[in-house]
Chains A and B, each alone.
Chain A
Amino acid sequence: MDPIPLLQVKHLKKYFPVRKGIFSKRIGWVQAVEEISFHLHSGETLGLVGESGCGKTTVGRCILRLLEPDAGEIWFEGEDLLRMDAESLRKVRARLQIIFQDPYSSLNPRMTAGEIIAEPIRNHTRCSRKEIQDQVSFLMDKVGLHPEQAHRFPHEFSGGQRQRIGIARALALHPRLIICDEPVSALDVSIQAQVINLLVNLQEEMGLSYLFIAHDLSVVEHISDRVAVMYLGKIVELAKDTVLYSSPKHPYTEALLSAVPIPNPKMKKQRILLQGEIPSPINLPKGCRFYSRCSYRMDHCREVDPEFKDLGEGHWVACHLY
């Protein structure tokens, strides 16, 4: 691993205004992402997990600047993405790509598979029609599609195949980092494994790095080198995947891990069922965000928001227990 990370996110913040009434008066903010920092090395996969609505997708979209963050820095290949003008951003986007969750809405229904995959190439390079066609065939072959299917429209493909088209489109410009925004959660379990394996193989072949966003720890376990757990807009724990899975520190991670189904009916397991309500992201309590659902809560937790501390060997956690 090289010393300078490929991607470094520092104190990222994104608030969404909540508006109401005929004059759209702002009545509050949803703190979608609150002070998130992490880094990602070249060739590494960082898993980002958390329940729905915790801000995982917002983090991904902010890194691509599909959403404008309110504060923070995003360093990619030694440049701050948030200080870039439109033209350099356009160029950087060739090396920074995204795969979307829903393969049914992420492909333009009026363009053929070939056109969709050719779009980035046509957009960033000056290739002849023949060269583009060759590249499209090469990419389709690479993601396990038949190049003869290039003239078909997205609705003529299955969900898994559509996701492969999305992957081919993301690969077209030889990116260094791909943000996978729950790329398999809309697919059948049998197809999920195929797509995950495809992503793993492509990573080895092309030296890709992934920021892998998911809500399912078992999927993340298979592909990630390190895993970050998010809860209500903050990272509560970050560790190497083997460490996180064998000795989780944060009570929320513990609960998440206990919810992973084990395909063995005889095995008894202890499930930690979370009690209590998730606080509304509009009026967050001032102490620990997890206070209302935590089984180890102390009086201290209600008053002070825990710091994100390093426990050594790159294991970070935000909890007063440590």
Chain B
Amino acid sequence: MTTQTKTFWKYFKRNRLAVGGLGVILIIFIIAGSASWLSPYDPGKTDVSLKLKPPSFEHLLGTDQLGRDVLSRMLYGSRISLSVGFVAVAISIFIGILVGALAGYYGRWVDSFLMRFVDIMLCFPTFFLILTVVALLGPSIFNIMLVIGITSWMGTSRFVRAEFLSLRERDFVQAARALGVKDRRIIFKHILPNGLAPVFVTATLDVATAILVEAGLSFLGFGVQPPAPSWGNILTEGRTYIFDAWWLTVFPGFAILITVLSFNLLGEGLRDSIDPRLRGRR
């Protein structure tokens, strides 16, 4: 372990909320990964005789209007929420790094052109843009990941650009240029690995946003389509019965809250321990 990693851990461990967030995220991951073993029932199996039963020992989180087990549906839904979050962020980081790296490394008109494009992208109210595109393309899980990804990379690209602007003047980059190393290798081997830390921080925060956007889309009916379960559409279906069957909305809402909160706490903890200026505030 390098010295940087050691000091990073030293500060990160002090931040109990962030460590807690990391713990919760790991637990959610394990749950999502083993959903097929943990689920007491088939999430798609309907039984109208059991509809809208409150939480009990047979159905820990109750049943919905079609008699499906809410716990099982939420366990399977966690897979969808997390995978939408991660794939969307992976797409957005990929675009963000590419745009930021090109703008920051080449500067001049490349920089002006790409950054003005970022400004334009930032002008759109993202959620409505996503809504429109999904309405046009059709609401499949793949489309949702893609659309969230290509509407959320601007922050990352600005971060990456800033890192590149400062790193490209460093002596070791100049040394690589003096050795005649090709641009592509300088960008990916010399500069990028030294500028990735803040990207991971924003990525963590972005995962939370992406999960929230997916839930919002599903709630509006443009997200993951039933009968496939996602936290968002369980919530939507439960909305009709909110006064008769509170368990249909409270549990998925709570799951979203906990997950998003954990990612935000983790992201902020990472940011504080990576940036020396923010260290020791807590």
Contact = CB atoms under 8 A, between A and B. Distances in A.
A124 B180 contact: yes
Contact of B194 (A64, A98, A102, A108): A108
Interface stretch (A2-10, A89-97, A229-237, A279-287): A89-97
Contacts of A98: 174-175, 178
Contacts of B181: 119, 123
A107 interface: yes
Given A105-B171, A166-B175, 13 more contacts: A64-B178, A66-B174, A93-B180, A98-B174, A100-B174, A106-B171, A106-B172, A119-B176, A119-B181, A153-B2, A155-B2, A169-B175, A169-B179
Contacts of A61: 174
B190 interface: yes
Contact of B180 (A89, A107, A109, A166): A89
Interface in B134-178: 170-172, 174-178
Nearest to A166: B175
Contacts of A66: 174, 177-178
B3 interface: yes
B125 interface: no
Interface residues of B, number: 20
Interface of B: 2-4, 170-172, 174-182, 185, 189-190, 193-194
A91 B194 contact: no
A91 B181 CA distance: 10
Nearest to A109: B194
A27 B180 CA distance: 34
Contacts of A107: 172, 175
A99 to B, nearest CB: 9
Contacts of B180: 89-91, 93-94, 120, 123-124
Given A105-B171, A153-B2, A155-B2, A93 B194 contact: no
19 contacts: A89-B180, A91-B180, A98-B174, A98-B175, A98-B178, A101-B171, A102-B171, A105-B171, A105-B172, A106-B174, A108-B176, A108-B190, A109-B172, A110-B193, A110-B194, A111-B190, A123-B180, A123-B181, A173-B179
